Amino acid sequence: MAQGLHLRDVTQYYLDGDQRTTALNHVSLSVLPGEFVAVIGPSGSGKSTFLSVAGALLQPTEGEIEINGKSYSKATDRELSQIRLKEIGFIMQTSNLVPYLNALQQLLVVKKMSGRITSADKVFASKLLEELGLGDKLSRYPEELSGGERQRVAIARAFMNDPQVILADEPTASLDTARSHEVTSLIAQEVKARKKAAVMVTHDERMLTYVDKVYRMEDGVLSQVAEPAVG
């Protein structure tokens, strides 16, 4: 059984009138537990489509996607939403925190969606926030946190359900340089410590120092960059 995230020969076409766009063209990628990879590439090259497919938001036209040996290429919409809830942690460009919940509650709400909150969940949520340097901010509301702190809460939230896969979509897009380094190094730290298969789409080449491998998307074709542009 192949552990981690695996895409095999994934192709995605979009039909727009009688025009067909090939957003993903026979994309194959394996990300093992504890591996952190980056996907770079110009606008319109297929990165968002790739994240939608890997994140079980979109069933590709062709190809196979597997998490820890379980294929979800033929999953129903209901099964896909369960996969998103249990197997995948998303980190987006902005933290998207709920304004009226404090940092601890931002994490616990994830558990509430999949059942009830136990005391072990509260301990785990506090531990995650501590690991992300927010141990003294558990009861702070989003407006009381800085941009970098809010994004760190969002990172902790992505790990809350103990998913197999972490997908980050331009996680540093709204942060300054120092906060960008801080946030990306924390993602790398958690990915390694918790053995997640993680993919980060980024435009920021300075963040490539934190990843194990760099892939480039161009016109829907994904290929590994031989020498990462390490800054």
Near ligand ADP by CB under 6 A: residue from 5, 7, 10, 23: 23
Residues with Cβ within 8 Å of 106's Cβ and at least 6 positions away in sequence, in order, are 97, 98, 142, 153, 154, 156, 157
Residue closer to ligand ADP (CB basis): 148 or 171:
171
Least distance (Å) between residue 212 CB and ligand ADP: 22
- Establish if 11 lies at the interface with ligand ADP (CB under 6 A): no
Residue closer to ligand ADP (CB basis): 42 or 69:
42
Residue closer to ligand ADP (CB basis): 45 or 102:
45
- The binding track of 26-65 with respect to ligand ADP, each residue x by CB under 6 A or -, is ---------------x-xxxxxxx----------------
Near ligand ADP by CB under 6 A: residue from 16, 77, 136, 143: 16
Which residues in the 144-203 window bind ligand ADP by CB under 6 A?
none
Least distance (Å) between residue 13 CB and ligand ADP: 9
Distance CA 27, CA 61 (A): 12
Least distance (Å) between residue 20 CB and ligand ADP: 9
- Establish if 21 lies at the interface with ligand ADP (CB under 6 A): yes
Residue closer to ligand ADP (CB basis): 142 or 220:
220
- Establish if 14 lies at the interface with ligand ADP (CB under 6 A): yes
Residues with Cβ within 8 Å of 81's Cβ and at least 6 positions away in sequence, in order, are 56
Residues that bind ligand ADP (CB under 6 A): 14, 16, 21, 23, 41, 43-49
